[in-house]
A and B are shown apart, each in its own frame.
Chain A
């Protein structure tokens, strides 16, 4: 495994406070989901999941068609669509827009897509301040950290952590109740909302037949980010498009439940471009940045294409026994948990972190809770095969040789029968190294049977 991650994993495992924070927060979210999708609470859940899966499958299979329809309808409503091949193109558009409109303050609502392209850091280099207005994201921005979780970015921070941070960075009084802490952030952010020239949001869904952007949130900061400043820019991956407004009935029913256990999130905004004549509010200008950044590469692979169905609910993280041990910072990219394990190698290339798809027990809890039924374990297995094929893992040659020998032995039962006990006996006498050492570092090993089943069976038959 890549060294820095080994350290990160060890640090997470060795921090009891962090372990408790991850366990209780993900446990609460997972419990909430379980309650709201239970048969009693929501009898149609399984049918709806299947339906969502089919809609995503259809849309991704005809993505070019729906993206063009979306563009036509966004522009018919007075907005503009910007096609960005990568992060650099998306960032350049936003930077130039800020310069042309002579603003150096941007308010932002939570968006994993902008995390993916490191928007804030780049804007800062150009002298443009982008302020996160989601409470969790704001805390992280003050702390100089990245999201720990897709939907609960500051899940690892305790109230005490946040109190200290606000004291240090905002010179606020020491407050530890959630209400008071929120009030401190709210007061600081209110100023920013009023001054900002541009509001940037992500997008939960883009509706092709009506040219609208749908935002789902609980704090109201996204709604304010796209309505208080004169200009609204929504940054979205191209895979967020859905065909029809009526499909929202499927996805909105699944997203809140899967994410936080809410039948519907507190605010759902349907944004249809800039303010028109006679309207009282809304931005003067609206831009939709449609980002590829590797997505078309994933789209090209028929088997793994389903990775793009993801609606970023975070349920797979909350239910993943590995994420719940190692936490969000042990993953190499902005997307953590099971979904991160399949997105990262596909976006960045399998060469980048070849250990990542192997860091799973393949328990399948992720696929079980995924609202759009992405077969995450199946994709992990496909990625593992690609990695061994490419021979890019540390110690890969030795492992390959071992599996070749093993496969031969498995086709020669008589030799296998003689070799297996000898190999086992030898292993128990050898210095504790390799897999045996790894096993014994955590648990005891059962003694090997003195006689194998096949021997016992033979004796019995006599």
Chain B
């Protein structure tokens, strides 16, 4: 039975706690031994992406301390997982033992299910037409392309309607969304045009931050389309 330590990311913890619960539910049913370390906070990405390396490093050191002896660290975000698995290497010396082997311990949720647990059918049911948004860091840094789609294909009642711009950025980009709001908003509107063309009722992704941006624009535009994190879809029955 794989021992899984959940890293629930700051945005899921504070804004979308149901995503964390859904992820825990799915992993539990898939036979994992789950723990949640209450000392955890954030991966440090907001500081790192804003150019504050010292601050990012102190938060990263704290993260590594919290998860020091964890076997698998599973994250409901490709972006936060990538920060830990790939970008910590830029904050520490190459020989630092704390980051050794980190990339094989930190997993984005959908790829953990498919590539580590070898589970594609989690027994979910959801009667919806869904389209899948490839979060940029999930796609390009964590190679998360097939896993979420395989999982969605096994959801009973769900039909996957791919949009034409699935791989195009939603425009969130962390502080970019508030430093360049018009550009970010313009990117999001291009994204939702593609979503609406797909005819989907829900937009699914591995990242709550992308979904917060997409939901914000979908709701501002007065559409009835809503967003769901992949974990929430897989937890539906």
Q: Which residues of A contact B (CB under 8 A)?
A: 1, 9-10, 13, 321-322, 325-326, 355, 358-365, 367-368, 378, 381, 384-389, 399-400, 403-404, 406-407, 409-411, 413, 416, 420-421, 424, 434-435, 438-439, 441-446, 448-449, 451-458, 460
Contact = CB atoms under 8 A, between A and B. Distances in A.
A322 B190 CA distance: 11
A358 B213 CA distance: 18
Q: Is the interface of A mostly helix, strand, loop or mixed?
A: helix
A403 B52 CA distance: 7
B203 to A, nearest CB: 14
| Interface-centre pick from A360, A361, A416, A452 (highest chain B CB count, 10 A) | A361
12 contacts: A358-B179, A360-B173, A367-B140, A403-B52, A407-B55, A410-B42, A439-B178, A442-B181, A442-B184, A443-B188, A453-B8, A454-B38
Interface in B27-48: 36, 38-42, 44, 46-48
B15 A10 contact: no
Interface string B175-199: 1111111111111101000000000
Nearest to B191: A321
Contact of B171 (A361, A387, A438, A449): A361
B220 interface: yes
6 shortest interchain CB distances as A-B pairs: A361-B173, A443-B216, A442-B185, A384-B51, A388-B51, A363-B169
A121 to B, nearest CB: 30
Interface stretch (B16-24, B101-109, B116-124): B16-24
B50 A411 contact: no
B176 A362 contact: yes
Contacts of B58: 407, 411
A359 B49 CA distance: 12
Contacts of A460: 21
A9 B176 CA distance: 14
Contacts of B8: 453-454
Given A364-B136, A407-B58, A442-B181, A321 B187 contact: yes
A389 to B, nearest CB: 8
B183 A359 contact: yes
B50 A443 contact: no
Contact of A413 (B20, B39, B175, B220): B39
B168 interface: yes
Given A321-B171, A358-B179, A444-B220, A364 B187 contact: no
B13 interface: yes
A399 B46 CA distance: 12
A457 B36 contact: yes
Interface in B127-168: 136-137, 140-141, 167-168
A321 B168 contact: yes
B44 A13 contact: no
Given A322-B187, A407-B55, A456 B21 contact: yes
Contacts of A385: 51-53
Contacts of B24: 457
A236 to B, nearest CB: 32
B136 A361 contact: yes
Contact of A362 (B49, B62, B220): B49
A20 to B, nearest CB: 12
Contact of B136 (A358, A365, A378, A448): A365
A361 B172 contact: yes
